[in-house]
Structures are given as structure tokens and as C-alpha cells.
Structure 1
Amino acid sequence: MKYVMGIDLGTSGVKAILVDEDGKVCGEATKPYRLIQDKPGYCEQNPEEWVEQTVAAMKELMARQPVLSKKVGGISFSGQMHGLVLLNESREVLRPAILWNDTRTTAQCIHITNKLGERLHQITKNQALEGFTLPKLLWVKEHEPEIDQQINMFLLPKDYVRFRLTGSVHIDYSDAAGTLLLNIGDRAWSEEICQVFDIPFHICPPLVSSEDEVGTLLPHIAREAGIEEGAKVFAGGADNACGAIGAGILSSGRTLCSIGTSGVILSYEEDHERALQGNLHLFHHAKKDALYTMGVTLSAGYSLNWVKHLLSPEESFQSLLEGAVDVAPGANGLLFTPYLVGERTPHADSIIRGSLIGLDSRHERAHVVRAVLEGITFSLNESIALFRQAGKHIDSIVSIGGGARSRTWLQMQADIFQAEVIQLDNEQGPALGAAMLAAVGCGWYPSLEACADQFIHQAGVYEPEQKHANLYADLFHLYQQIYTQTRDIHAGLAQYRSI
């Protein structure tokens, strides 16, 4: 039996899984790393911690089954999107990485929009938002000119880790599509955008497909991780693209709901000219020559983490959610908006913050927890509504991540989305997608579709309960009013947040 390893570099930690030729997950290891949040809106990480913890996760995984050292044939990666890693000519990191959920770049986004107008969307198929990489580059240029002058290359998080493990510098199309520097239609870096913003073209790394072999582990990394030298390393892809592969979103009509720190509604796409509204994104898929459309809730699982820390930090998530099971849909007249760090879809707004609307003295902890779950799901439903307005038919949704670990939440998704929601057997998210890229790269399967047939299996299907679906449809209309009704209040409060 042969094996591949999938490594997912998330926002809060790294996960490594070992998968055999039949698609069985034979082991997993996770390692955390810290966020650096020195100022309101700032979110950074030390790239060296990514490398250290990735190697530690690989080492732990292999230490459990050292006899498999010679049988690991391939390794691939998934990673958090958009984060800016800056390297000098010696390939040394110049500053902490600025992450996808950092919101300091509003002024730069306005500058990009004013400078390029409609041309930005024509080239990149996306709008200028704080999460993307280009605004971060411009922020460094403006606020840290001494750093800017030393930039010889930028990378995204998983690409930096892969560089440190192999010595080879690349970026795949699915991650490059989230930089706001890629011409989506031409599958090439945009010289026009680089020229407009005085960005040296040479700092953009070489582009490769997600399935491409880009090297092997460096000898000292292989020894430390406990893997025999010669294991092939494949480029991998953005976390959402790999999550889509790991959930079988590989053909038209397939849609994904992924709830991690952020939440994503993602739908397979073949037309790069589709008209999209409301801050939906169009990116390259990790499947070659395919694309996907996507809407994002910035604080999905993050909102659940927040309420757990606030109300019951020592309790397990399972115990916390048990109380919400007995609360009727609507949380006894309580609505929550998950705008804890701003929002992306449909409202690209770094100033807006969350709300609990309808609190009264009869509400208990379980009502608040239920309202948070519903609010996250309502926010994701705004993306689904935009997809449907754009002419996409969404009748079936595969749910992965934190939202797929609770039967109550899965049923809630079916009721609010008004679609069947599919739960997967042994769902491993982006790490499995990365492993599948390695499996196809190693020649185990002729295509990702053939690999998915072997690796991915359904565990259950949740159908909408019409009574609850009707109630949620009414509540959703109320939910959609909260943003416009509270936007000015939150803007006024913004000046007090650093106190």
C-alpha cells in the first residue's frame, strides 16, 4: 500500500493527514500557531511558526507509523488565501505576514477602485477588498517604505511553507486568483495592474497548476519529518479550492458550504464571464482549467468561538450546542449578525460590526447560541441568494467544516438554504483535497473525478422541513434589514474601538 500526505495551513493551525490508495485516512496531526493582533483591524502571523509547526505535524504523523516512511509517495498543500509574505533577495522574510482577515487596507482599496474603475473587474473578475493581497502590498509601500524597497518576491502562506520545505518558489492559479494581480481570463500576472501601482513585475512568483510536481523535500526536512527522501511535492491550492476538491465539487451544479473561521458558499463554474453581483468572487479552481464562484462570511466559525469564549470557555462545543437543540427556530425572537470583524459578502464593509437584535429578559444562553448559529447561516444564505439571482440552480449543497459536525446545524442549513444538505463520511476538508491532488499527481488515478469516486462518500442527507423553511424565509428578510439599519451606528462607534 502507498500513501500521500495532505497538509492544510489554516488560520489557527496546520493539519496534516496521511491517506492510502483506497482513500482511507490513516492518521492526522494538528499543530497550533498564534495570531498577532497589535492594533484594531490588524491580523498577522510569523511565517517561521508555520514552517516549524508544519514540520512538527508531519513528524508527529510519521512517528506513529515509522514503517510507512518509505511508502509516502507524494505531498501536497492547501492554505489560507490572500496572506502577504514578503521576501528579500536572499529569500528571507521581511516582516510578519499580513493575513486574509486583516482589515487595515480600506484606503488602499478605495485607491485601487478609483484608479482602475471597471478595468479592475475586467482583468481580475473581482472587486478591491481588504482581504486581497494587492491592497496589502500597497499598504506596505505607503507605510513601510524601507520594507518595500527590499521586496524581491511575494508569496502566499502555503507557498512560503512549500518553498521552505523544497527550496522551490511557485504559486498556483487558485491562490494567485485571490491576489487581485492575476488576469483571470489570460491565466497570467497582469502587467497592466503592476504598472499602474508601480509594483515590480519580477516580484510575482512563477505560476503553476495545482497538480504540478514542483520538487521534493529538502534532505534535512525529510530527515526531520521522518519521510524517506524522494517523496514528490505538488503545488496544491487555496484552502477553498482544495476544500471543494475534498467535497467532490468538480462539475457544474455542485455547491459547497464550508464553515471554518470564515464561512464560504462555493459553486463550480465554467464561465469566466458570468455576471456576478454583491461582492461574489470568481477564482480559478485547483482542478485544472476550471473556476468557481464564491461568497464569504468573514466571521462564521469565529462567531461561534467568540460566543463560546464569552459564555462558557471551559465547555466543549458539543455541550454548548446541545442546549440549542431544544430552542425553536427563530431563537425566541433573537437575531444575530456575524459581523465581528466586518463583512465581505454581500456587504464589503470593514467598519460594520455584529449585532444581537431582540434581546429581552427571558432569553437564556441557549437562545443566544441558537441565534448565533442562525445568524451565521443567514449570512451564508445571502451568498446563495446572489447565486440564484445570477441564474445558478442550487438544489443540493455539500456541507463541510464545523457546520457539518452538528445535526442541528445541518438541518438548520437545509431549512434556511431551502436545499438538500449533504454530510460526508469522514470529512477532512481542504487537507483531503490536497491529498487528492497528490494522489492524482502520483498517477494513482487518471483524474480528480476518478479519485473522488474512491475517496468521497456521503454519510447523510438533510431535507428542508417546510414549516421551518417558511419561518426562516420570513426571518431572513428581517435579517437582511439589519445591515442598512445599523451601518451608520457602527460607523459612529468605530472611533471608540481602540479605547
Structure 2
Amino acid sequence: MYFLGFDLGSSSVKACLLHADSGEVVASAFYPEKEMAIAAPKPGYAEQQPEIWWENACLASKAVLRKAAVSPEDVWAIGISYQMHGLVVVDEDLNVLRPSIIWCDSRAVEVGNRALDAMGENLALSHLLNSPGNFTASKLGWVKENEPAVFAKVHKFMLPGDYLAARMSGDVVTTPSGLSEGIFWDFLQQAPADFLLDHFGFDRSLVPEILPTFAEQGRLSADGASALGLKPGTPITYRAGDQPNNAFSLNVLEPGEVAATAGTSGVVYGVSDQIKYDPLSRVNTFLHVNPIAQSPRYGVLLCVNGTGSLNSWLRNTLFQGNISYPGMNELAATAPVGSDGLICLPFGNGAERMLENKNPGANFQGLEFSRHGLNHYTRAAQEGIVFALYYGMEIMETLGVSLKNIRAGEANMFLSPVFRETFANVSGATVELYNTDGAQGAARGAGLGLGYYKNREDAFVGLSTLQTIEPETTLTEATKEAYGKWKDALSKS
């Protein structure tokens, strides 16, 4: 018996096949082998074709079944993780009406700012816990303002994971957690925010049916099953945005537990049991995956858009693709803490919520031809990403999020010794790395949503710690001094 998890990212779609009893990953695959294209028809725009997500999900599903030699009959449930904050709009026949406006698209910032002013900060923040900002609701508002002919045909709006599930089952549903990440959710009323819908002029019929995160959310249709290589009627029993799901995959579910990831974007996500918000919406509060009625939990999230993007840019532009990522990590380790005064501000991938939706761009400062080489550039980039994350973590601490222990998957930027050691030394936190990823978390969520796993302990059988990184006393002072210089450079940018 197996559970199948999908992780729909902006670079690829990954699938993971998990043995239900052992918690062992028997096969995983991702498509495409090269990154999925992100269209930028104008500066600050970022779009993807949802059909491409579906095609790659089908390829990944068939690949894991083939690798594991598992029969479709033995896959009992499906879980889905997906890139947050995106917008997909469909007509009554579920035809996509325009490319998806994805998470790093900045076009709706002004739409969200006007909405906050019109609704009033006190009402909006006390009920939504966030400014509408550049989130899904504001993106739908942008479509209404700028593409009225498209908006007139909209039957339902969806988040990326909702679309993937709809292609599987034909059912358009969403979750409270999903609506909260789109800034559609009224935390005080525990329902879609009527005052926000009224402000934008969105008919309530545009909101999909709302189902719990851990529950049956549809079954594979004959067409969906055929495309995926699975059995018709297989239930979809879990769905969550990538950051709540990353936290779930690391068994981060209770107050004081913190998860981090550093892929295309860098995120720190802490769990709280208190309804709190940042008045400037620099960090954001969403519903976590826990069942609302049993134990409401809130995820406080900070995001830096340009983490893996910066690392990829360095490799492909500065190094012309002539070095591997492990090679870059080795090179970074040859430069000293603080990169001999070379500072990198990594904000080169759109508006940053942490900086109040400003887009300062990325830059290197303090370059001296006589002493700085490629190793300094590489280390400065990794330190700059960590320092940007810690800048946001300082804001999170004002909301009561504890940062003494941080969990992450052993993947992406956390594969770099410089990155993970800088993370521990600047924050003072213990960093634990685990053998998990988003697709594996989605598979475990499917088992919990099906009811096969009866509790948290059962769901995380097979999850183990691979590394523990403690702050190094001899390097902490130098790292904090480098962070102070970085912070000063940011204040002057």
C-alpha cells in the first residue's frame, strides 16, 4: 500500500511514492528536467501555463510507478503541495482563461494597496491578518480592472494546487488554509471575508467549495486517472501550499516549532497558537494545516524571493555554467566569514513583502579588485541570503515566534556548509536537517487525510534527522558583525 505525493513548484513538478507502513520513499521523480519557463511579458510580471503543470505531473506520476514497479491498484490516496499565492481562473468547462499569475509576480501591488486604504487598515488587518498586498485576491482584482473580458468569463478562481486537483477529479474545491494564503479568509469569522469580496466586486459564487486540508477532496476521474497512470476513483485526501506543507513534512505543527526552506525562494515559517499580525505586513500570518476545530494553528511566514534565483544566476552568468552547485559550495568555503567585506543584497526577483513590497534589486557592495575573487562573490551571495532571512526572522520574533530550533530538509541551499553554518551562527539557533521534501510531505498528508494514519506519530514514521548544526562560538561574533554591516548596507539602499 502506497501514498502518492505531488509538489507543484515554479521550477518543476515532483512526485513521491511512499510506502504506507515503513514511511520509506520507494521512488521519486520530477519533470521537466530543465526548469519550467516563467514568462515575463512586462517588468515585474511572472506567468506560467497551468497546462504545463498538469503535463509534468502526469509524467512524474507515471515515472514513479514505473521506477517502483507498483501497480496503480496499490496507490490508496494522493496528496498535493503547490506554489502559494498564484491565481488560476477558469470558465464553466474548467478551461483556463489566461496564464497563471504566480507568486513572484508584482503587478498587483498597487491594487492591494488601494484595497487596504479603501477597507481601512483596522478592519483589514484585524480580520485578514495581512494587507491584501500582492496576494491572490489582489491578482484577481487586477484581472477585473485590466482584463474585463477575461473576468466576465470567470466561473471560479483557484490556487495552483486547486487547479491540479481539478484536473485530476473534475471537482473545483479549496481549503481554508489556501484561502488564507490568498487573503480571502476572515480569521475572526472563520469564513471567506465578505467585506473583501464586496470591495473587489467578486461574486461569492467565484469561491470554490471549501473542504478541510486533511479530508477527501475528490476522486480521480476516468480521464484524470488515465493521464496519471492511476486507478479511477483514487481519492485526493490532502492539499496545502508549499510552505505550510514544508512545515508539515518536517513535523512542524505546534507553537514554537519552525521550518525553513531555501529553494527558488527562501522561507522561514513558524507556528503559533495566537492570532497576531505584523502591522506592516512584512511577514504574514496564514492558517496552518492543522484542523481548525481541533487545534487552530497559525503559520507566520517570511519570504525572500531571490534565494535560489541568485545562486542560479551566479552559476549561469558569472560562472557561465562551468561549475556545479557542489563546486560553488566548496568555493564559498574558501572565503572567510564576512567575505572580506564584500556584501550582497539578494533582492533581485520582484517586490519583497519583507521590505514593504519594495523592489530594491540585487547588488554587490564593497568590491575591491585587489582582494576579491569568485570565492568571495559566492560566499557573499550565500551570506546575503541568510542575512536577508534573518532580517525577517527578527520581525517574526516580535510576533512571539521562537527561533531556538529550526528544521529544514537537506536540500537546495541547505546542502552548502557555508549556508547552514551561517544560518546557525547569525540566529543562534540549532539547525536540524531531515530526509524529507515537499512531495514526501504531501504523501504523508494523504495518509493522514485518508485516516490510515491515526495520529501525528504514525504519519512521520521513517522521518529522521540527518544533521544537526549548532552555533560555533568562535564564528558567531564575526558572523554577527558581518550581519551588522549587511543590515547597514540595506538601510542605505
**Separation (CA, whole Å) in 1 of partners of 2:210 and 2:380:** 43
Q: Determine whether 1:364 maps to 2:373.
A: yes
Relative distance call for 1:408 and 1:231 in structure 2 (3 A) is same
Pick one of 122, 125, 148 that aligns with 2:126: 122
Secondary structure of the residue that 1:36 maps to in structure 2? Answer: coil
Q: Determine whether 1:38 maps to 2:41.
A: yes
**Separation (CA, whole Å) in 1 of partners of 2:481 and 2:44:** 33
Aligned-partner residue type, residue 72 of structure 2: S
Q: Determine whether 1:268 maps to 2:271.
A: yes
Give the match for residue 407 of structure 1. Answer: 417
Give the match for residue 380 of structure 1. Answer: 389
Give the match for residue 397 of structure 1. Answer: 406
* 1:282-293 matched pairs, under 5 angstroms: 282-289=285-292, 290-293=297-300
Moved more, 387-396 or 211-220: 387-396
Give the match for residue 11 of structure 1. Answer: 10
Secondary structure of the residue that 1:109 maps to in structure 2? Answer: helix
Aligned-partner residue type, residue 126 of structure 1: N
Aligned length, in residue pairs: 481
Contact 2:237 2:450 in 1 (8 A): no
**Separation (CA, whole Å) in 2 of partners of 1:320 and 1:47:** 33
CA deviations 1:157-213 (Å, max 9, x no partner) are 111011011111111122211111211233211111111121111101111111111
Relative distance call for 1:13 and 1:482 in structure 2 (3 A) is same
* 1:293-308 matched pairs, under 5 angstroms: 293-308=300-315
Secondary structure of the residue that 1:455 maps to in structure 2? Answer: coil
Deviation (angstroms), 1:120: 1.3
Aligned-partner residue type, residue 2 of structure 2: Y
CA deviations 1:321-376 (Å, max 9, x no partner) are 11111211101111111110245353123431112111110211111010000000
Secondary structure of the residue that 1:301 maps to in structure 2? Answer: helix
**Separation (CA, whole Å) in 1 of partners of 2:359 and 2:445:** 38
> Which consecutive segments of 4 or more residues in structure 1 shift more than 4 A?
274-278
Query: With structure 2 as the length reference, what TM-score do the two structures score?
Result: 0.94
Deviation (angstroms), 1:276: 6.2
**Separation (CA, whole Å) in 2 of partners of 1:229 and 1:65:** 20
CA deviations 1:264-312 (Å, max 9, x no partner) are 1111111124666661111111222222111111111111111111122
**Separation (CA, whole Å) in 1 of partners of 2:329 and 2:440:** 26
Aligned-partner residue type, residue 115 of structure 1: A
Deviation (angstroms), 1:448: 3.1
Aligned-partner residue type, residue 488 of structure 2: Q
Contact 1:162 1:168 in 2 (8 A): yes
**Separation (CA, whole Å) in 2 of partners of 1:278 and 1:440:** 32
Give the match for residue 208 of structure 1. Answer: 211
Give the match for residue 63 of structure 1. Answer: 66
Contact 1:238 1:286 in 2 (8 A): no
Moved more, 159-168 or 303-312: 303-312
Q: Determine whether 1:464 maps to 2:471.
A: yes
Pick one of 100, 110, 113 that aligns with 1:110: 113
**Separation (CA, whole Å) in 2 of partners of 1:195 and 1:345:** 25
Relative distance call for 1:228 and 1:90 in structure 2 (3 A) is closer
Aligned-partner residue type, residue 356 of structure 1: F
Give the match for residue 316 of structure 1. Answer: 324
Secondary structure of the residue that 2:142 maps to in structure 1? Answer: helix
Moved more, 108-117 or 346-355: 346-355
Contact 2:130 2:281 in 1 (8 A): no
Aligned-partner residue type, residue 483 of structure 1: L
Secondary structure of the residue that 1:403 maps to in structure 2? Answer: helix
Deviation (angstroms), 1:449: 4.2
Deviation (angstroms), 1:110: 2.1
Contact 2:129 2:277 in 1 (8 A): no
Q: Determine whether 1:23 maps to 2:23.
A: yes
Give the match for residue 52 of structure 2. Answer: 49
**Separation (CA, whole Å) in 2 of partners of 1:269 and 1:276:** 17
Contact 1:340 1:353 in 2 (8 A): yes
Relative distance call for 1:397 and 1:188 in structure 2 (3 A) is same
Give the match for residue 482 of structure 1. Answer: 489
Q: Determine whether 1:328 maps to 2:336.
A: yes
Secondary structure of the residue that 2:356 maps to in structure 1? Answer: coil
**Separation (CA, whole Å) in 2 of partners of 1:93 and 1:211:** 27
Relative distance call for 1:384 and 1:449 in structure 2 (3 A) is farther
**Separation (CA, whole Å) in 2 of partners of 1:443 and 1:198:** 39
Contact 2:257 2:271 in 1 (8 A): yes
Aligned-partner residue type, residue 125 of structure 1: L
Give the match for residue 351 of structure 1. Answer: 359
Relative distance call for 1:457 and 1:338 in structure 2 (3 A) is same
Give the match for residue 496 of structure 1. Answer: none
